[in-house]
Chain A
């Protein structure tokens, strides 16, 4: 049973402003049946002073999704578009008392629908579906873009992958993007730059030095990322410029194994040691 505040229960049981405004000045939509929650927000705007005179919603979702939508309509009424645009997901959650951490994405959905509705108004009232930028999609299960994740991290001071999942749903299904989310967290929160490149040229090293150098890159650069997905990598063989790697743990048998080998492990070893290195899966 979720720990919902009285305010959440009130707005769930007695939702304010349910429905659709006919000939709305702005319509914002977010979510889908597949995702498990969706919100359609319609607003009526006084064209002279840009004040939102009315707002209505329709929501498919759980109690906190319905309560967040209802609260959002109450919050935007009487505000100018400019003031309304300042409303964050945290404002919605605060107005409801609080939301369980796992349900914060419901308040984010409210913020996104509002953003879409305001955009719709500026585009002459044609409904706008809140869309994530396809080219920087991080979580493909829930269609969450890098931009949306960065915004959630900045607004809510998130520090862990779990936080990001609670707020954006990203990483909440197959979990394959958790490593990428961690990288975004590191980037936004200003994690240290990676270790300085190794000095001696790869071709000048002895075999033992080469093995040690590869092992060092594996340990410092590669395993920490694989570990986040529950996997790891072992050095099996090194012959000339060919490195044989065995993926273990969650990485073994992963559908993305080949991509991990080529796009991540090979690329990292090339950057750190020698651009002519190739990596093969053992």
Chain B
């Protein structure tokens, strides 16, 4: 039974064209791009071509504004610790309460080292409290970091507006665009972004490779040191096959964005969402449905628990994810849903479906067929649903 893969915000299938482009760089063109011989040195050109492909996806003004990293977590860590190093007198960082742990955890480390970090709140629809940002920012703020789109709900944040506020107070602006890249058009120049993080495996590239956009002129202190690579901004021998992979994936993503596949994915997502809402009672969509990436829906099924739903979906080879406490091992439901004040009877039963261009009508119909009996079955076991039926 082929999987019905609706967990594309967790990771995507690496496109066959991407794998094909990478393969020669393992055992044939294995030279070190820094070597003083053509065999290795030619790989330098391949790397620069990939850099141009990634720059094009982000509409960066210069290809050398792209630094290749091992993942978006590294990109995020690099920016946060760079800000701490580069602005020793501006020990204030502003981010949001709904960021990925790859932002929140380094922020907590900075707090423990004496930095002040403010976490902007969101409303019940997941919209950012811009007024709070305006009230917190001052001339001691070195960096504002706000994700472009939220991984759990798909909510898109007003990046341009936030960047303008940051710049008006002399702060730099970073965005974790991991869940936006390949899903919506990104333009770092139009949005006024100073730093941006992406990860290839979220847009049909390989795992283990990411990129960091650093605007020319933005103060940046390297995180990995010990080599001249990436113009001394990220040491370590270039991961040539994976750099080729992220380049190819960026090129394919840009083509898809141009050919209107986003609208088709959004139509499938809406069909799934409407189908569930009309077939099952006590359901709630989480997030800002007006400003949302096209592939994501986060639906809460009241009075039952998310892991149980996933286990039943797994029987039909349907892959999704949940913000429930039990799936994370953390004992608490998703910090994103809690920041949105989603009531507990809904927060524990949240399921995220994230589609891709490979999702078919048949996939959606199958999910719509299997979901209602699963929910009914679990609600029969639950001590709460009967009271509320």
Confirm or deny: B303 has a beta carbon within 8 angstroms of a beta carbon on chain A: yes
5 closest A-B pairs by beta carbon, nearest first, are A172-B331, A62-B326, A58-B383, A62-B307, A36-B325
One of A147-155, A183-191, A204-212, A248-256 contacting the partner: A248-256
Confirm or deny: B88 has a beta carbon within 8 angstroms of a beta carbon on chain A: no
Confirm or deny: B362 has a beta carbon within 8 angstroms of a beta carbon on chain A: no
User: Which B positions have Cβ atoms within 8 angstroms of A?
Assistant: 111-112, 114, 303-305, 307-308, 311, 315, 324-327, 329-333, 344-345, 348, 380-384, 386
Using CB atoms, name the residue of chain B closest to A58: B383
Contact between A60 and B332, CB atoms less than 8 A apart: no
What is the distance, in angstroms, from A23's C-beta to the closest C-beta of chain B?
Answer: 17
A63 vs B327: C-alpha distance in the bound complex, in angstroms? Answer: 10
User: Could you write out 19 A-B pairs with CB less than 8 Å apart?
Assistant: A12-B308, A13-B315, A33-B344, A36-B324, A36-B326, A36-B348, A37-B326, A58-B383, A60-B381, A61-B308, A61-B326, A63-B307, A102-B329, A172-B330, A173-B332, A230-B112, A231-B112, A252-B111, A252-B112
Contact of A65 among B305, B327, B345, B384 (CB under 8 A): B305
* CB neighbours of B330 from chain A (8 A): 172
Contact with B along A247-270 (1 / 0, CB 8 A): 011101100000000000000000
* CB neighbours of B380 from chain A (8 A): 18
Contact between B308 and A33, CB atoms less than 8 A apart: no
Contact between A38 and B383, CB atoms less than 8 A apart: yes
A34 vs B321: C-alpha distance in the bound complex, in angstroms? Answer: 20
A249 vs B315: C-alpha distance in the bound complex, in angstroms? Answer: 46
Q: Name the interface residues of A35-49: CB closer than 8 Å to any CB of B.
A: 36-40
Contact of A172 among B308, B332, B383 (CB under 8 A): B332
Using CB atoms, name the residue of chain B closest to A170: B331
Contact between B324 and A59, CB atoms less than 8 A apart: no
Interface centre among B304, B326, B348, B384 (most CB of A within 10 A): B326
Contact between A63 and B308, CB atoms less than 8 A apart: yes
A51 vs B329: C-alpha distance in the bound complex, in angstroms? Answer: 38
Contact between A12 and B331, CB atoms less than 8 A apart: no
What is the distance, in angstroms, from B282's C-beta to the closest C-beta of chain A?
Answer: 13
A248 vs B113: C-alpha distance in the bound complex, in angstroms? Answer: 8
* CB neighbours of A9 from chain B (8 A): 311
A203 vs B332: C-alpha distance in the bound complex, in angstroms? Answer: 50
Given A18-B381, A34-B344, A36-B326, are A63 and B114 neighbors across the interface (CB < 8 Å)? Answer: no
* CB neighbours of B332 from chain A (8 A): 36, 141, 172-173
Contact between A62 and B324, CB atoms less than 8 A apart: yes
Contact between A58 and B305, CB atoms less than 8 A apart: no
A9 vs B314: C-alpha distance in the bound complex, in angstroms? Answer: 12
Given A36-B324, A253-B111, are A61 and B383 neighbors across the interface (CB < 8 Å)? Answer: no
Interface size of A by CB at 8 A reads 37
Contact of B384 among A12, A38, A63, A165 (CB under 8 A): A38
Given A36-B326, A38-B383, A40-B383, are A62 and B331 neighbors across the interface (CB < 8 Å)? Answer: no
* CB neighbours of B344 from chain A (8 A): 33-34, 36
* CB neighbours of B333 from chain A (8 A): 36
* CB neighbours of A179 from chain B (8 A): none
Contact between B112 and A36, CB atoms less than 8 A apart: no
Confirm or deny: A142 has a beta carbon within 8 angstroms of a beta carbon on chain B: yes
A37 vs B308: C-alpha distance in the bound complex, in angstroms? Answer: 11
Using CB atoms, name the residue of chain A closest to B315: A13
Confirm or deny: A66 has a beta carbon within 8 angstroms of a beta carbon on chain B: yes
Q: Name the interface residues of A67-125: CB closer than 8 Å to any CB of B.
A: 102-103
User: Which A positions have Cβ atoms within 8 angstroms of B?
Assistant: 9, 12-13, 15, 18, 29, 33-34, 36-40, 58-66, 102-103, 141-142, 165, 169, 172-173, 230-231, 248-250, 252-253
Contact between A165 and B383, CB atoms less than 8 A apart: no
Interface centre among B305, B324, B333, B384 (most CB of A within 10 A): B305
What is the distance, in angstroms, from B373's C-beta to the closest C-beta of chain A?
Answer: 13
Contact between B381 and A15, CB atoms less than 8 A apart: yes
A142 vs B305: C-alpha distance in the bound complex, in angstroms? Answer: 17
Contact between A33 and B345, CB atoms less than 8 A apart: yes
* CB neighbours of B311 from chain A (8 A): 9, 12, 63
What is the distance, in angstroms, from A64's C-beta to the closest C-beta of chain B?
Answer: 8
* CB neighbours of B112 from chain A (8 A): 230-231, 248-250, 252
Contact between A61 and B305, CB atoms less than 8 A apart: yes
Contact of A33 among B307, B324, B348 (CB under 8 A): B348
Given A36-B324, A39-B383, A253-B111, are A60 and B331 neighbors across the interface (CB < 8 Å)? Answer: no
* CB neighbours of B386 from chain A (8 A): 58
Using CB atoms, name the residue of chain A closest to B345: A33
What is the distance, in angstroms, from A113's C-beta to the closest C-beta of chain B?
Answer: 11
Contact of B305 among A37, A40, A141 (CB under 8 A): A37
* CB neighbours of B382 from chain A (8 A): 58-60
Using CB atoms, name the residue of chain B closest to A106: B326
* CB neighbours of A59 from chain B (8 A): 381-383
What is the distance, in angstroms, from A43's C-beta to the closest C-beta of chain B?
Answer: 15
A271 vs B326: C-alpha distance in the bound complex, in angstroms? Answer: 43
A249 vs B380: C-alpha distance in the bound complex, in angstroms? Answer: 48
A18 vs B327: C-alpha distance in the bound complex, in angstroms? Answer: 23
Contact between A60 and B326, CB atoms less than 8 A apart: no
A58 vs B325: C-alpha distance in the bound complex, in angstroms? Answer: 19
* CB neighbours of B329 from chain A (8 A): 102
* CB neighbours of A169 from chain B (8 A): 331
* CB neighbours of A252 from chain B (8 A): 111-112, 114
* CB neighbours of A13 from chain B (8 A): 315
Using CB atoms, name the residue of chain B closest to A230: B112
* CB neighbours of A34 from chain B (8 A): 344
